């Protein structure tokens, strides 16, 4: 086991997670940082060691000291990387349940109105339509189905 294993090998990725506050409007697309992301690494990883004595891979300037006296992490090692964020198009649909009530015959059910809300990320085109549903009648009429079929 080495520090490199934490990132899936010497060319592995170190994930960064970003959370945007609610209510932000960001258009879908790929966003890249204008300047490289700079990370400074401080490390002392044993190559072969027993109880703190042995050979170590260490960041520049690292001093182990004796019993904590003279210990210094040093100047560290710089690493540069690119930073990009991909924002995917997204839409949220909110629809209320429709309740026709109870009646002995379907012809006695009262007409019901409902609404539907749609919210999409900025500049995301969308199209809304209702199809014939799972139990169409006469080829193009939306209908409901009883629990027994």
Residue 132 DSSP class: -
Per-residue pLDDT tens over the stretch 118-129: 988 888 888 888
Q: Is residue 8's pLDDT more than 70?
A: no
Cβ 42 vs Cβ 73: under 8 Å:
yes
- Token pair belonging to 12: 């592995």
Domain residues of the chain, as ranges? 3-87, 90-149
- When pLDDT is cut at 50, 70 and 90, the band that residue 106 belongs to is confident
Rounded Cα–Cα distance for residues 26 and 120 (Å): 10
Query: Given a cut of 70, is residue 61 above it in pLDDT?
Result: yes
**For the segment 78-88, what is each residue's pLDDT rounded down to a tens digit?**
888 888 888 89
pTM over 0.85: no
Q: What is the CA radius of gyration of the chain?
A: 31
Burial of 121 (0-12, 13-18, 19+ CB in 10 A): middle
Rounded to the nearest 10 degrees, how much is the dihedral formed by the CA atoms of 61, 63, 68, 70? -80
């Amino acid at each position: 086991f080495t520090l490199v294993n934490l990132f899936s090998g010497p060319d592995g990725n170190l994930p960064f997670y970003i959370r945007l506050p609610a209510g932000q409007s960001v258009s879908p697309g790929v966003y890249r940082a204008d300047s490289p992301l700079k990370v400074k690494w401080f490390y002392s990883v044993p190559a072969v060691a027993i109880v703190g004595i042995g050979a170590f891979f260490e960041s520049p300037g690292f001093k182990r000291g004796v019993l904590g006296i003279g210990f210094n992490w040093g100047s560290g090692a710089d690493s540069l990387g690119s930073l990009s964020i991909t924002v995917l198009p997204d839409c949220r649909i909110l629809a209320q349940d429709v309740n026709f009530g109870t009646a002995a015959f379907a012809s006695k059910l009262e007409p019901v109105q409902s609404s539907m809300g749609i919210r999409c990320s900025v500049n995301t085109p969308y199209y809304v339509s209702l199809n014939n549903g799972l139990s169409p009648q006469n080829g193009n009429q939306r209908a409901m189905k009883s629990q027994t079929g």
